[in-house]
Amino acid sequence: MGRIIAIANQKGGVGKTTTSVNLSACLAYLGKKVLLVDIDPQGNASSGVGVNKGEIDQCIYDVLIDDVPVKDIIVETKVENLHIVPATISLAGAEIELVSTISREVRLKRSLEEVSPYYDYVIIDCPPSLGLLTINSLTASDAIIIPVQCEFYALEGLSQLLSTIRLVQKHLNKNLTIDGVLLTMFDARTNLGIQVIEEVKKYFQDKVYKTIIPRNVRLSEAPSHGEPIIIYDPKSRGAEVYLELAKEVIKHG
Ligand SMILES: Nc1ncnc2c1ncn2[C@@H]1O[C@H](COP(=O)(O)OP(=O)(O)OP(=O)(O)O)[C@@H](O)[C@H]1O
């Protein structure tokens, strides 16, 4: 069975999609078979690996709401070993429609069961909320990666995320673990970034990844070319650090 990892934090703009796309591509580059699941209605992970959302008939919405088998909507990407389950804006309605659906919290888990044996890793890019799409992702996952942006309010909102994780562990998925907390968009020129690292390490201790993702302009350019950093600029610092992260994730199991 593939290891299923959700990239989650209900705070917006902390680097969830950048991490989902580039961790997935780096795991694939290291020879792992990877399925990236885009469950964020913005669909940025899909365009980030080159999917033209205008050409997509069915997406994760149809899996969650209309029971379309997930294998029918998997798309190959230009990265060898990396496939994606895309999302389009139609997914925006799913949060409300799921409320009245039977087994609403376990729909993603059940649909991934049929494909996860064919992959080494399934990486889920969650939306910036703690609604049913994120709950479905945490219920389906073995582990969670929490990206935390190195900024003043870094820890704000994390207690809400942690209590959601505890609720999911108690009622829906007792096997869910925190694989790690990932510090993102670090700027070595500011004292603030260093203070945030200390604060996050004090709180999460050995759960913080050794790899810290710096601000890197190539990482922010790559999505507009529909390419993960390992293809867009393999020699950049951004590519180096996401490769380091992929190796750390592989070491965890
Ligand atoms: N390490 C980095 N260096 C430079 N820019 C970055 C880095 N990580 C992310 N960004 C940029 O910051 C913005 C937010 O990142 P991203 O979309 O990955 O966050 P997110 O948590 O997925 O956002 P949302 O909550 O909206 O889904 C994007 O424009 C992205 O290109």
Tens-place pLDDT, residues 213-246:
999 999 999 999 999 999 999 999 999 999 999 9
Q: Which two tokens stand for residue 21?
A: 């796309």
- Distance CA(133)–CA(248), nearest Å, equals 27
The rounded percent of the chain whose pLDDT value lies above 70 is 100
Domains identified in the chain and CATH numbers: 3-252 (3.40.50.300)
From the CA of 238, give the closest atom in ligand 1.
Answer: 1
The reported pLDDT for the residue numbered 207 is: 96
Complex-level ipTM: 0.99
Tens-place pLDDT, residues 115-133:
999 999 999 999 999 999 9
Tens-place pLDDT, residues 176-215:
999 999 999 999 888 888 888 999 999 999 999 999 999 9
- Distance CA(145)–CA(245), nearest Å, equals 11
> Which residue has a Cα nearest atom 23 of ligand 1?
13
Mutation pick for ligand 1 pocket among 7, 9, 10, 17 (CB with most ligand atoms within 8 Å): 17
pLDDT band at residue 156 under the 50/70/90 scheme: confident
- Backbone φ/ψ region at 13: left (φ over 0), alpha (ψ -120 to 50), beta: left
Q: Which two tokens stand for residue 141?
A: 């996952």
